[in-house]
Structures are given as structure tokens and as C-alpha cells.
Structure 1
């Protein structure tokens, strides 16, 4: 079990690079088609995209095991919200990878009677729910950091009032909104792992939404989102300190 998990983690970087290439092809194909490129060129780009997609599925064979191991570790977290979000996210990732492995069998011709459309929809549903859990976790951690920062600022203002002045009256709605916005930017700027994870999950969210027909965009936008999230994922692999923990 442990040896397979180590092998899976080593393959993750290669899978992310292939994913970036796949979505780059999606974006390029859409752009060429919109600009009146030849049908032969567009078809070639789409075929290349399909090859990258199939290659990714090969690298993800057995990733369900890694996701289940991550769920087992997350279930021991002390924070109830983090424990729920991270565990449920990993369990849905495990189901997503399992469906993806089944799709790989169909696309390679090893299982000709498989309903690829049905299994594709199932995989994207699990993927969507996993991303929702990831975003919920990101927003929860952001809320905790904002509350902690607000508490520190209030304590500091009470201990050392600026020029001895005492504020009078209640701040307006616009002042409160501006304060929250500045606080949000401050928190994100000082927590790159959280910022990266939030941006990556937000970009990824549009992919299953589009595939499931819940929020239709276009292949170009999907390609841009997939390429952006892939680059952010590669950054977190190259620089482990950028990976959000736990």
C-alpha cells in the first residue's frame, strides 16, 4: 500500500504537466476555430488533446488508493469543520478516480460495451462535490484568519490608541466594507498557500459545472481555467511550502 502511494505521488507532477498541455490544446483549438483556422489544423489539435487526456487517465490509475489514504489521515484532525471537509473531499476524489479508471478502460477499447457518457457524468459529479468541499475548507480557513487578525487589531487599538484619540460614532457601511476588503487582501497576501489553493479550486470549479451543463461557458474558457489551475498545481509541487496544510 505505502509503496503504491509513493509511486502515485511521484507520478503526480507528470500528470499535472500533461493536464496543462491538454487544456492548452483545448484553449488553442477554440482560439484557432474562432479565428477561422483550417479544419485540418483544428482537428489535429483536438486529436492531440484527446491523446493527452488518455495519457492522464493512465497516470491516474490507482489514485483512488492515495485518496483513501489521505481520507484516513484527515479523519483524525481535531477541527471538526476541517475534518469533515477534507475527509469528504478525499472520499469524493477516490470515487472520481475510480470512475476515471473505468472510463480509461472504455476509451482504450478494453471494455467496448461501457456507457462512457454515463461514467463521464458520474466522474464529474464526484469531482464537483470534491471541489465544493475544498472551497468550503478554503473559505473556512480564510474566515478563521480574518477573525484572528480582527481580534489582534482591536486589542492593539485598545492598548495603544492612535494619538490618544477616542473614536466616536459607528463606522458607515462603506467603511466596514472597505475595512473587510483590505483585511481580505492582507490575509491573502500574507498566506500564499491559501491564496493559491483558493484560486486553483475556483478555476477548477468551472470545468465540472460546464461538463454537467450546470453553468455552460465555452471550450476556450474551460481550457483557460484548466491551464491556470494546472500551472498553480505544478507550483505547489515544485515548491511544497505553497501546498495548503493539512
Structure 2
């Protein structure tokens, strides 16, 4: 009963957040994209699914209305981060996300028919800022991972030295042979287990990267690939809203 109650409470809390609804609609949007790509021979159903995908996209644009200001505020707060690489990658990424959403609003008003503009032009400008934001996020991810691997290697080396000191040269030789065979894998596995937010954020950013590159014409990803990658990044987004401990901070 307690588990069921916690799950229902989690659903209510998740649905009460604008970010949660946005992540859920994004998951539905890319799931529908993948489905209609697989059903491309069934024209009537495909057209209905395309309309549903378009509706999800428009709903998400509405939910994100004004969110560009939130990212500007977050960028100002991140200027107080002490570590230089983290400070500048996070700050510039937030600013880029703000600009991406700002131009995305223009596309939204064009789709509504409120204004007339060059949709393709603004879509590319918006995608450029999205790509720049993801590139900065990935820079931060690789910086974090490098530091985590160095720290874990240092810990394992320290443990090895302590074993050598305690048990003598025989154990130290065995430990060295074991490290040469499986040490690297052990470090990676331990880093992933101990730092899930970093690695989930990496997977999300890598998955999303293809989407703006496709809009910019730098890659030619099929609708199926876009849908699959969108589902992966959306599921991670849903997971981080549902369980905030999985979200990379700051």
C-alpha cells in the first residue's frame, strides 16, 4: 500500500511541474515520430500520427513560453561557481539555451499565424544555439568524467599501496597483475556506479546532438533515428524530473 501511495504521489508531483509535463510530451512526440516512421506504408494512420506529433511539439513550445528568462536567471547564478571550466560551460550553455528558446518562440507564433516570418531561417538559428549549448554540456561532461576517472584511479592506487604495506611484496605483485588486466574496466564501472547523474547527462547530450545537426543539414538522420534518439534523451529527462538525485547539478 505504501509503495502504491508513493507512486501515486510521485505521479502527482511529476505532473504538477511544467518541466515534467514538457519531458513527458517530448517522450510522446518522439515515440510517435518513431512509430509513424515504422508505419510509413499505412498512409492514413501515418497522417494522424504526424498530426499528433505536431500537436505535441506545439504544446511543448507553449509550455516553454517564457522559460528563456529562467535560463538567463540560472546563467547569472552559475557565475558564482568557483571552478572555472564548470562556471563557463554551464553559464554559456544556459545563455545558449535561452537564445534557443527565444527563437523557438518566434517559430511558435509563426505556426499559430500570429506573425509571418522565414520559418526555415529561424529554425536554423535556433538549432545553432541548441547545438552550441549541447557542445558546452558535452565539454563539461568530459571534464567531469576525466576528473572522476583520475580520482578513482588515485583511490585504487592508494588501496593497492595499503595492501602492499600490510601484506608484503607477494600481494603487491598480484595486485599489480590484476590492475593491468582489469584495472581500467574496474575504474570505469566504479565511476559509472558512483556518478550516475554525470553519465546519464552524457548519454542525453550525445543523443540530442544529432537533432540540431540534422536541422542544420550537417547530418542526414532518418526520422527513425531522430525518433529513437529523442526517446532516449526524453526518457532520461523524465527520469531526472521524477528522481531529482539523477539530475546533474549545477
> TM-score, normalising length from structure 2?
0.86
1:85 maps to 2:89:
yes
* Whole-Å separation in 2 of the counterparts to 1:186 and 1:72: 34
Q: Which runs of 4+ in 1 moved over 6 A?
A: none
Distance 1:175 1:209, change over 3 A: farther
Structure 1 residue 232: Cα displacement: 0.8
Partner of 2:159: 156
1:45 maps to 2:49:
yes
SS at match of 2:17: helix
Equivalences for 1:114-193 in 2 at 5 Å? 114-161=117-164, 163-165=167-169, 166-167=172-173, 175=180, 179-193=183-197
Structure 1 residue 163: Cα displacement: 4.3
1:62 maps to 2:66:
yes
Contact 1:189 1:195 in 2 (8 A): no
Partner of 1:15: 22
Q: How many residue pairs end up in the alignment?
A: 230
Deviation string 1:112-154 (CA, Å, 9 cap, x unpaired) is 2x00000001111100110111111111111111111111222
Partner of 1:4: none
Which segments of 5 or more consecutive residues in structure 2 lack a partner in the other structure? 1-15
* Whole-Å separation in 1 of the counterparts to 2:69 and 2:185: 41
SS at match of 1:217: coil
* Whole-Å separation in 2 of the counterparts to 1:100 and 1:199: 24
* Whole-Å separation in 1 of the counterparts to 2:206 and 2:22: 20
Structure 1 residue 193: Cα displacement: 1.2
* Whole-Å separation in 2 of the counterparts to 1:10 and 1:167: 55
Structure 1 residue 160: Cα displacement: 2.0
* Whole-Å separation in 1 of the counterparts to 2:113 and 2:60: 16
Deviation string 1:43-79 (CA, Å, 9 cap, x unpaired) is 1111111111111111111011110011011111000
* Whole-Å separation in 1 of the counterparts to 2:185 and 2:90: 27
- Name the structure where helix makes up a greater proportion of residues: 2
Contact 2:123 2:215 in 1 (8 A): no
RMSD: 2.0
Which segments of 5 or more consecutive residues in structure 1 lack a partner in the other structure? 1-8
Residues 40-49 or 208-217, more deviating:
208-217
Structure 1 residue 179: Cα displacement: 3.1
Residues 121-130 or 206-215, more deviating:
206-215
